[in-house]
Structures are given as structure tokens and as C-alpha cells.
Amino acid sequence: MVYRICTRCVMDTSDHDISFDGKGVCNHCREWDDAMKKRTLSGDAGQSYLNALADGVKASARNKHHNCVLGMSGGIDSSYAAYLAKRLGLNPWCVSVDNGYDTQVSTNNVRALCRTFDFHHEIIQIDRDEFRDLQLSYIRAGVVNLEVPSDHAINASVYRTASRLGLRHIISGQNVVTEAGMPKSWGWDNRDLVNLKSIHKTFGAVPLKTFPTMGHSKMACYTIWKRITTLPILNYADYNKAEAKRVLQEECGWIDYGAKHHESHITRWYQCYVLPKYWGIDKRRAHLSCLVRAGQMPRDEAEAELARPPCSDSTLNDDMAYVCDYLGQSQEQLDNLFAQPHHSHDEYGTAPRVALADKLYHLFVRIRGGV
């Protein structure tokens, strides 16, 4: 099959919903440009905004030892967010959610950062039986986003921790530069608790008694009643991925784990094996396209990277064995499940108010001044 590729980035028609303008530039580039314009600041303006945010965070927790919460995975984005938090004089309570899939590199990175910055680190354990059953439910459902269980648990746990500690601010490593422009058909909103519960009810067997969840009502309680706000500080820091890696390696002993999100066995297996083989999706296209648009990688270098396998055979084999052991399934059993017909997430029920809740939340944040 011949794919049409964007003339600016490396997104192509493997995203079936992609569109191009008269110059051959894709809609994802235009969306990325719009997000950069509306949601980021650079240079002195960005630094001034960061300083103001830090002052607000400190003032909101003046009588507390810790003044914010920060979710850490050992990946580059959350690690550099921790680095910036330290530079801004913040003292976060760091949280990691252990779903059983962290690589040793990611675990070592979190330990190295917390030791270097003298940050408190809490590890929240997810019940393995519940999590295994939920993941198998998503596989049996034939939906594209197998990362929802992990991402939902992380998000819910971070907000729950902030609420428990009486802290109003969450430092986030989410950012426009390296993450904006992901095709909607390649994923699903991980906050959609209605969809999660519906899929599990249809295909699961183990009750989710302890699995961390957060629906609309709980999110409203956290953000409106308890005034908890997420601060994506990388959006105001001229975030450069290569430079961030260099700084963390030199100052904190941080270790590079490879491609984006490869700090997790399940995510690396999902992105390097499941998506390319069964969905025709190579998420590297979206990730590398962000770096191309930002001027952090030449376009021909991104194309050369895409021509190579997403990971080595030995790494893929190790991840396959790890995932099969965790899920209690053979590779043949998993392949048979993935080979079944695909289904859209919204076939299992969805929360139609997610977008509206987003708008109301951001409006509320602007009304009260952002911090």
C-alpha cells in the first residue's frame, strides 16, 4: 500500500482520518501549531509565568512541608518536570503507581531523582488480580487503547493523593511540544470511567474493589470543591527533549530507556508489537512528528528512524515473555485475541460529558486566576 505523507512532519495516511491542505501539510501540524500558540509560553514570558506559578503553589501550602504532588514514572517528561520543580524551589510529594510493568531502568530513574532532589516518594501498589483482569477485558473487547487502565489509575491516584494531603497543586509532565497532535482514532480518553466500567463488566470476572478510579463527580469534587489544579510546567519552559535528557543524565544519573514511553514493559510491547501488527499503527510517527515540528529533529532523521524496527528482537522477546507471564496467557492465546474483529470504544458505552467537563474545568481555573 502506498501512503501519502505530510510535507512538513512524518504523519501519513496510516491515520485514516488525516487531511492535508493545499501545500500538503496535515491537520495534525495545524493542531500542533494552534496548541503551541494557545497553551505554551517561551523565553522570559515563560520563566515569569513559571515563577508566578511557583509562588502561588508555595503560598497555597505555606504551613505544609510538601506543597504539591508530582506523578513520576522514570520517563523523560515526568523526570524533567521534577527537575524544574526543584529549580523553582518546590517540594513535591512524588507518587509512582506500580502496576507491575515498570522496567528496572524506570525504577532506578525515579530513585535517582528523588535521592538527588531529596523528594519524598510514595509507591502505590495496584492489586495484580484486579489489574490483570481489567487488562484482559480490554484485550477481549478488541479496542485500540490498552493503556487506559494504567493511565486512569495513575491520574486517579495522583488526585487522590493531593486530596488526602490537602494540597491544591499537581505538577504534570504532560506537554504540547512532544505530545500534541496524536490522532484521535489511535487512542481513547483515559478519564472515561463509564467506558472502563462497561468494558470490564462485559469481559471481566474479578471485582474492582481497590482499583483507583475517578469519574465526573469525583473529578468535580477535586477540582471545584477542593480546588486542585494540574500545572503542566513543561509548557512554559522551552522544553527541549534532547537537552532535558542531557541535563538529567549529567546532574541526576538518569538513564535513557529509548523511545517515548518505553520505560514500561507493557507500553513498549503494546507500541512495538500490538499496534503495528494488528492495527497498522506506528505511534513513533506521531511522537517524531512533534520533534520535527519543534525543530528538535530533522525530518529526514525521523524518516530514517521509522525505517528501523521500533525495538530490537531481544527486547521484544523479553517484553513478550514478561507480558504473557503477567497476564497468564501464551503468546498464541494473546495473538488469537488480537486477531479477532476490532471494535470502537464507544460501542461499549461512553461518558459524553468529558469534553464539556474539560471546558467547565478550564473556565473555572481561568476565573480563579490559574493558581
Determine phi and psi for 193, rounding to 5 degrees: -70, -30
In which band, very low, low, confident or very high, does the pLDDT at 88 lie, cut at 50, 70 and 90?
very high
User: Per the domain annotation, does 4 fall within a domain?
Assistant: no
pLDDT beyond 80 at 286: yes
Q: What is the mean pLDDT of residues 55-63?
A: 92
User: Per the domain annotation, does 117 fall within a domain?
Assistant: yes
Q: What is the mean pLDDT of residues 201-216?
A: 95
User: Per the domain annotation, does 2 fall within a domain?
Assistant: no
Specify the pLDDT at position 311: 87
Percentage of the chain with pLDDT > 70?
A: 93
Cell 522496567 identifies what position? 103
Q: What is the CATH number of the domain that holds 100?
A: 3.40.50.620
The per-residue pLDDT for range 258-277, each reduced to its tens digit, is 766 677 889 999 999 999 99
pLDDT beyond 60 at 231: yes
Q: DSSP label at 15?
A: S
User: Per the domain annotation, does 16 fall within a domain?
Assistant: no
Q: What is the mean pLDDT of residues 173-181?
A: 93
User: Per the domain annotation, does 17 fall within a domain?
Assistant: no
165 Cβ contact partners less than 8 Å away, ≥ 6 residues apart: 64, 66, 69, 93
Specify the pLDDT at position 261: 64
- Compute the mean pLDDT over every residue in the chain, rounded to the nearest whole number: 91
pLDDT beyond 50 at 23: yes
pLDDT beyond 80 at 351: no
Q: What is the mean pLDDT of residues 306-327?
A: 94
Domain count, the chain: 1
Specify whether the CB–CB gap between 276 and 310 falls below 8 A. Answer: yes
Q: What is the mean pLDDT of residues 104-126?
A: 94
In SS3 terms, 217-260 reads as HHHHHHHHHCCCEEECHHHHCCCCHHHHHHHHHHHHCCCCCCCC
pLDDT beyond 90 at 155: yes
Percentage of the chain with pLDDT > 90?
A: 80
Specify the pLDDT at position 263: 75
Specify the pLDDT at position 172: 95
User: Per the domain annotation, does 28 fall within a domain?
Assistant: no
Specify the pLDDT at position 192: 92
User: Which domain, by its residues, includes 237?
Assistant: 42-367
In which band, very low, low, confident or very high, does the pLDDT at 223 lie, cut at 50, 70 and 90?
confident
Specify whether the CB–CB gap between 191 and 358 falls below 8 A. Answer: no
Q: Which letter, b or e, does each residue of 267-299 get, where b requires 16 or more Cβ atoms within 10 Å of its Cβ?
A: bbbbbbbbbbebeebbbbbbbbbbbbbbebbeb
User: Per the domain annotation, does 9 fall within a domain?
Assistant: no
Specify the pLDDT at position 364: 52
User: Per the domain annotation, does 19 fall within a domain?
Assistant: no
In which band, very low, low, confident or very high, does the pLDDT at 48 lie, cut at 50, 70 and 90?
very high
pLDDT beyond 60 at 150: yes
